[in-house]
Chains A and B, each alone.
Chain A
Amino acid sequence: MHQQDDDHPHVFPESRKPGEILFVTISMMIALLLLAALPWQTTWLPGKGLAAQPRLWPALSLGGVVLFGLLNGLSRVRVTRTPGRWQEAGVWLRSLEFIGWYMLYVLAIPVIGYLIATLAFCTGLALRMGYRGRMVWIAAGFGLFVVLFFKSGMNVKIPAGAIYDHAPGSLRYILMRYF
């Protein structure tokens, strides 16, 4: 089979990436904490067989995470450390900005309505990405299309904005139903 080189995407990645050990360590700590919580987060039913115990599968699965995590750690000891662990952690943390944008968008919908929230989210994020001019209009157009197609056309269940309560009678209905 043809050898992989930089021009070719990895079909079966085999190298250790920066931040891998950090990620495995954090995951193992969480798994151990969850495993420690097993006695009071699951129940053991007296007189029932092992397969019918509600505790069996959480114990097996968390045990598996810890066991394979340890084996993985051991197998990686000999691999040369790839530099860039904390830069990678920095990339993970920087991505939280977009999660913040997203949560803000979600929380804004019940207040200002789907239409305004979507337009603001698409154009705001496009501006944040450094787009100007035509691209911002494309982002806004996309937002409008999404609202018209899904909310107005397909009537998907998305909460109406509290702001719509201030609109006069018939317009209020249209805004709540379609936007």
Chain B
Amino acid sequence: MDSFLDGLQLLARFDVIAALLIGSIGGVLVGAMPGVGAAVAIAIALPVTFSLEPIVGLTLLLGIYGSSMYGGAIPAILVNTPGTPVNALTTYDGYPMTKRGEARRALSLAYSASFVGAVLSIFALMLLAPVLAKVAPMFGAREIFLAALLGIVLVVVTHRGQVLPAAILACLGIFLSTIGIEPSAYTQRYTFGQSWLQTGVDLIVVVLGLFAISQALILLMDKDKRVALPHVEKVGFFTQMRDLWIYKRIAAVASSFGVVCGMIPGVGEFMSQFMSYSYAQKTSKTPEAFGKGNPEGIVASEAANNSVPPAAMIPLLALGIPGEELTAMMLAVFYVHNVVPGPRLFAQQLDFIYALYISLFILNVIVVVFLFYSTRTLMKVMLIPNRLLGIMILTFSLIGIYTLRNSLSDVAIATAFGFFGFILKRLELPTSPIILGIVLGKLMEDRLRVAMARVREPLDFIDRPIAFVLFLMILVAIAGQIWTVVKARRKARADG
């Protein structure tokens, strides 16, 4: 309880509240602009927060991270275009409801389901925090190595239909993390005698290139789309919240899927949504209405995706292991602001952990109230032409890159990654394995080196319970993937 009150005290400052307000409303705005999203916004805003105090900068970026999916539901429901990739499933039932003239109801369900998902996730994790404080110190070098490896394996195998490209890109990310002077024997790796490569490839520069510049190129190369905004009627706050009560079972189950999937590195929103949506459809009295405007589909999708961010903070904060691209960026945010995630953070700074979860709760309250009263105004951001957004993102991204180190070579690297990311996006290939490869590659190399110093026989590596369980999980994930491929081949052969 003391830690909780201390956490509350950490947040009781005008500048922190202001940062939370700006971050959460800003997050909704960028989420509502198709083609922008939280990754672009965090990439751009991150270097700008360098000059702010750690807690202020962190709450600002946490606000964007935790609120963008709310905003992403608006274009998904109203114009059949997801604001962020994880809102794609919301279009299946949201847009048909809009076509039926039920836009307001669809939006209200999306907001309230998102809110319930996030709040349940936050409460579950607040209850878990003291347990984690006890378990986290049991993670030594080998457990962290295995957990990071599990993260890489899961991020690869969860890219259904793209497992091999995801594996290639994860390996590319790991390779990028090795460039420069390595910290153990101080030898140079792949610097080609260039001094600007000695410090390695900065994660933030890669993120800005892969997310911001590439997205700007996508928008600039596209045509402006004419958006016709549907009519959204005014309804009272409590009337909107009450509608969710009918679907409370789906909201609760979807949130639970989100919490579990969020806590496992590499799994995240897509898997939780897939599971929730399948569950909702299987248990529905009207499964045939799914994809044609069934409110249960919206509830399943939105509760599942919005319960992931708080849960994804668990492996990030307890072990320093990000589960997907946004948490990888949040890891960079923590490092930049001198907060080192890992077992010690949970054991020694539980008040800080509580402060983060309290701020996540506050931002969800701010966002849901803001959305219920301002959707009709907020809809207008969808009218901003694509290519103008592209110009805006390019202009913003320069600030992000330049403020990092005032380095022209950073701009050149970011631009190169922007071009690379543009090609990946055109080919519908994922970018997140690269980011996770960079972050987890460095961690795995370091932890393996430390762990192997104490290992004599190969089996010593997994002679501790947690290490053994993690090792088994890796084997199961790989075996499951091989089984899926074999099964698909057999089916293809049987089909002729």
A interface residues with partner B (beta carbon < 8 Å): 1-3, 7-14, 17, 19-20, 23, 27, 31, 34, 37, 41-43, 45, 48-52, 54, 56-58, 60-65, 68-69, 71-72, 75, 88, 91-92, 94-96, 98-99, 101-103, 105-106, 109, 118, 121-122, 125-126, 129, 131, 135, 138-139, 142-143, 146, 150, 154-159
Tell me if A52 and B184 are in contact (CB < 8 A).
yes
Residue ID in chain B nearest A45 by CB atoms: B185
Known: A1-B274, A99-B419, A106-B398. Contact between A14 and B82, CB under 8 A?
no
Cα–Cα, bound, A13→B291 (Å): 18
**Cross-interface CB contact of B80 among A7, A52, A102, cutoff 8 Å:** A7
Within 376-415 of B, Cβ neighbours of A (below 8 Å) are at: 385, 387-388, 390-392, 394-396, 398-399, 402-403, 406, 408, 411-412, 415
Tell me if B221 and A9 are in contact (CB < 8 A).
no
**Cross-interface CB contact of A154 among B48, B171, B274, cutoff 8 Å:** B48
Residue ID in chain A nearest B277 by CB atoms: A1
Tell me if A51 and B51 are in contact (CB < 8 A).
no
B452 at the interface (CB under 8 A from A): yes
Cα–Cα, bound, A118→B332 (Å): 28
Tell me if B291 and A61 are in contact (CB < 8 A).
no
Sample 29 A-B pairs with CB under 8 A, ordered by A number.
A1-B281, A3-B291, A8-B91, A9-B91, A11-B88, A14-B161, A20-B427, A49-B452, A54-B184, A57-B175, A58-B178, A64-B171, A64-B174, A68-B167, A69-B168, A92-B422, A92-B423, A99-B419, A102-B415, A106-B402, A121-B394, A122-B391, A125-B394, A129-B391, A131-B385, A131-B387, A135-B388, A139-B388, A154-B51
Which chain A positions have C-beta within 8 A of B274? 1, 11
Total residues of chain B contacting the partner, CB 8 A: 81
Tell me if B395 and A142 are in contact (CB < 8 A).
yes
Cα–Cα, bound, A95→B390 (Å): 12
B248 at the interface (CB under 8 A from A): no
Tell me if B88 and A9 are in contact (CB < 8 A).
yes
Tell me if A143 and B419 are in contact (CB < 8 A).
no
**Cross-interface CB contact of B160 among A14, A52, A64, A65, cutoff 8 Å:** A14
Count of inter-chain pairs, beta carbons less than 8 A: 213
Known: A131-B388, A146-B395. Contact between A159 and B427, CB under 8 A?
no
Cα–Cα, bound, A153→B415 (Å): 27
- Pick the most buried of A2, A43, A159: most chain B CB atoms within 10 A of its CB: A2
B426 at the interface (CB under 8 A from A): yes
Which chain A positions have C-beta within 8 A of B349? none
Which chain B positions have C-beta within 8 A of A64? 167-168, 170-171, 174
Tell me if B172 and A12 are in contact (CB < 8 A).
no
A16 CB → nearest B CB, Å: 9
Known: A17-B426, A106-B408, A142-B392. Contact between A42 and B167, CB under 8 A?
no
B241 at the interface (CB under 8 A from A): no
Which chain A positions have C-beta within 8 A of B177? 57
Tell me if A95 and B419 are in contact (CB < 8 A).
yes
Known: A61-B174, A156-B48, A158-B402. Contact between A12 and B161, CB under 8 A?
yes
Known: A62-B171, A92-B422, A150-B48. Contact between A43 and B187, CB under 8 A?
yes
Cα–Cα, bound, A135→B389 (Å): 12
B492 CB → nearest A CB, Å: 9
Cα–Cα, bound, A155→B82 (Å): 35
Which chain A positions have C-beta within 8 A of B390? 98
Within 201-253 of B, Cβ neighbours of A (below 8 Å) are at: 213, 216-217, 220-221
Known: A19-B427, A61-B172, A102-B213. Contact between A37 and B422, CB under 8 A?
no
Residue ID in chain B nearest A98 by CB atoms: B220
**Cross-interface CB contact of A146 among B192, B273, B399, cutoff 8 Å:** B399
Residue ID in chain A nearest B405 by CB atoms: A157
Minimum-distance CB pairs A-B, first 5:
A2-B291, A64-B171, A14-B161, A51-B452, A61-B175
Cα–Cα, bound, A42→B175 (Å): 12
Tell me if B415 and A103 are in contact (CB < 8 A).
yes
Contact with A along B140-172 (1 / 0, CB 8 A): 000000000000000000011110110110111
Cα–Cα, bound, A3→B291 (Å): 8
Cα–Cα, bound, A129→B389 (Å): 12
Residue ID in chain A nearest B437 by CB atoms: A61
B421 CB → nearest A CB, Å: 11
A67 CB → nearest B CB, Å: 8
Cα–Cα, bound, A68→B452 (Å): 27
Which chain B positions have C-beta within 8 A of A101? 394
Tell me if A157 and B402 are in contact (CB < 8 A).
yes
Tell me if B221 and A95 are in contact (CB < 8 A).
yes
